[in-house]
Amino acid sequence: MPATIIDGKAIAAAVTSALAEEVSQLKQQNLQPGLAVVLIGSDPASQVYVNTKVKTCEKLGIYSEKHLLPEDASMNDVLALIDQLNCDPKIHGILVQSPPPPQIDEEAVVAAIDPAKDVDCFHAENVGKMLIGKTDGFFPCTPYGVMELMAQSGIDPAGKHAVVVGRSNIVGKPMMALLIQKCKGANATVTVVHSRTKNLPELTRQGDILIAAIGKPEFVTADMVKDGAVVIDVGINRVEAPDTPKGYRLCGDVKFDEVAPKASFITKVPGGVGPMTIAMLMRNAVKACKMQNHIEIR
Ligand code: GUN
């Protein structure tokens, strides 16, 4: 049977439409969630992501501010802006687009963000909370989006072997943490494989759920996938395509055409995990606003 394509765009639209309703209820209480997005430098892909985040805020009625700092901004410039945003009552969530230019110490910037406003869940306090299963912090947007995609597609990870390809702080490590939690929608057995793993295909072939987040175009090929696996592609890679108007095309970490016939469920790139990352950011911004105003979280 051909794989069911998990439509990330449609699931993200359902998440954001529920959020729009929550935002309108908050506005009736004279509250408006506010998100500040900080971009340092002019990386073209980061500019696209940041603009999409701001546009989505507008659609949902979330107040947003875009702060653009020059490529040669200093640590002092960035920390001064973070201080200002930490103290601003209109702003409930702060996101600094990653990666920043090399002179910026990203860890120090993340540590300076008020954990209550850390809607990326990059701050050590929130990462720790997530790891020990607490729900009064945040979950990081991309892994959270993957969990939501599975939940909305009727895929229960409980007891399944989930293999995560990649060990980044943004995706691989928190993905592992969310999947192993003792709670509804998780309870998986998790293996994390990475660039130094021996016999990587042998391990990926054991995955009932295979999550590719290694940042290498079309890295996962059909021979690395178990028959009937759920395949989630987190990668977004720009590869040269001289015949196209933009000169590049987007592809994931999975060789879709050859893997899809083996999978039970699969996501596409674009239109899979990407839209969910933004939807979950919006959910975190609304949650941040509610927590800062002592409103019960449903
Ligand atoms: N760069 C790639 N993904 C992300 C993300 O989820 N948050 C931030 N801040 N930067 C990113």
CATH code, domain carrying 234: 3.40.50.720
Q: Is the pLDDT of residue 95 over 90?
A: yes
| pLDDT confidence band for 251 (50 / 70 / 90) | very high
Per-residue model confidence as pLDDT tens digits over 211-248: 999 999 999 999 999 999 999 999 999 999 999 999 99
Determine the pLDDT at residue 123: 98
Q: How close is the Cα of 49 to the center of ligand 1, in Å?
A: 8
Please report whether residue 293 resides in a domain: no
The band of 1, judged by pLDDT with boundaries at 50, 70 and 90, is confident
How many Å lie between the centroid of ligand 1 and the Cα of residue 141? 8
Q: Band of the pLDDT at 96, cuts 50, 70, 90?
A: very high
User: What is the per-residue pLDDT for 205?
Assistant: 98
What lies within 8 Å, CB to CB, of 125 at 6+ separation is 115, 118, 137
Work out the burial of residue 263: count CB atoms within 10 Å of its CB; fewer than 13 is exposed, 13-18 middle, 19 or more buried.
buried
How many distinct structural domains can be found in the chain? 2
Q: How far is CA 38 from CA 14, 46, 115, in A?
A: 27, 10, 16
Residue linked to tokens 């989006």: 145
Say if ligand 1 is within 6 A of residue 170 CB: yes
In a domain, 22, yes or no: no
**The pLDDT of residue 176:** 99
290 is catalytic: no
User: What's the pLDDT score for residue 297?
Assistant: 83
Which atom, in ligand 1's list, is nearest to the CA of 98? 10
- Between the CA of 98 and the centroid of ligand 1 the distance, in Å, is 5
CB 252 within 8 A of CB 237: yes
Is residue 279 within 6 Å of ligand 1 at its C-beta?
A: no
Residue 295: predicted pLDDT: 96
CB 8 within 8 A of CB 273: yes
Domain interval for residue 55? 29-114
Find, among 255, 214, 208, the residue nearest to 234 by Cα: 214
pLDDT confidence of residue 136? 98
Per-residue confidence at 53, pLDDT binned at 50, 70, 90?
A: very high
Write the pLDDT tens digit of every residue in 183-196: 999 999 999 999 99
pLDDT, residue 266, reads 99
Mean pLDDT, residues 250-254: 97
Model confidence at 63, pLDDT cuts 50, 70, 90, reads: very high
**Residue 97 in contact with ligand 1 by CB distance below 6 A:** yes
Residue 236 belongs to a domain: yes
Contact 229, 264 (CB under 8 A): yes
Q: Is there a single domain that holds both residue 110 and residue 151?
A: no
Cβ of 95 below 6 Å from ligand 1? yes
Give the position, in ligand 1's atom list, of the atom nearest the Cα of 46: 1
Q: How far apart are CA 95 and CA 153, in angstroms?
A: 29
Domain shared by 103 and 195, yes or no: no
Q: Which two tokens stand for residue 286?
A: 């609304």
Looking at the chain, the whole-number percentage of residues with pLDDT higher than 70 is 100
Q: Is the CB of 168 under 6 A from ligand 1?
A: no
The question of whether 233 is a catalytic residue gets the answer no
**Separation of CA 245 and ligand 1 centre (Å):** 27
The pLDDT of residue 298 is 74
Query: Are 105 and 214 in the same domain?
Result: no
Q: What is the average per-residue pLDDT within 36-65?
A: 97
The model carries a pTM of: 0.98
State the Cα–Cα distance between residues 211 and 87, nearest whole angstrom.
38
Tell whether ligand 1 has an atom less than 6 A from the beta carbon of residue 47: no
Q: Residues with Cβ < 8 Å from 89, sequence gap 6 or more?
A: none
Catalytic residue among 120, 208, 233, 253: 120
Expressed in angstroms, the distance from the first to the final Cα of the chain is 38
Give the three-state DSSP class for 211.
strand
Give the distance from CA 181 to its chain's centroid.
Answer: 18
Q: Is the pLDDT of residue 151 over 90?
A: yes
Residue 199 confidence (pLDDT) above 80: yes
In a shared domain, residues 267 and 165: yes
**67 located within any domain:** yes
**Res. 71: pLDDT tops 90:** yes
Q: Which long-range contacts (CB under 8 A, 24 or more apart) does 247-251 make?
A: 251/217, 251/218
> Could you give the strand order of the β-sheet that contains 34-40, starting from the edge strand earlier in sequence?
63-69, 34-40, 93-96
The residues near 173 (Cβ < 8 Å, ≥ 6 apart) are 167, 192
Q: What mean pLDDT is reported for the chain?
A: 98
For residue 129, is it within any domain?
no
Among 37, 43, 49, 121, residue to substitute to test ligand 1 (most atoms within 8 Å of Cβ) = 49
Residue nearest to atom 2 of ligand 1 (CA): 98
The residue nearest atom 1 of ligand 1, judged by CA position, is: 98
Q: Note if 77 is an active site residue.
A: no
Domain-located, residue 284: no
Residue 159 lies in a domain: yes
Domain boundary among 79, 114, 149: 114
| pLDDT above 80 for 143 | yes
Residue 296 in domain: no
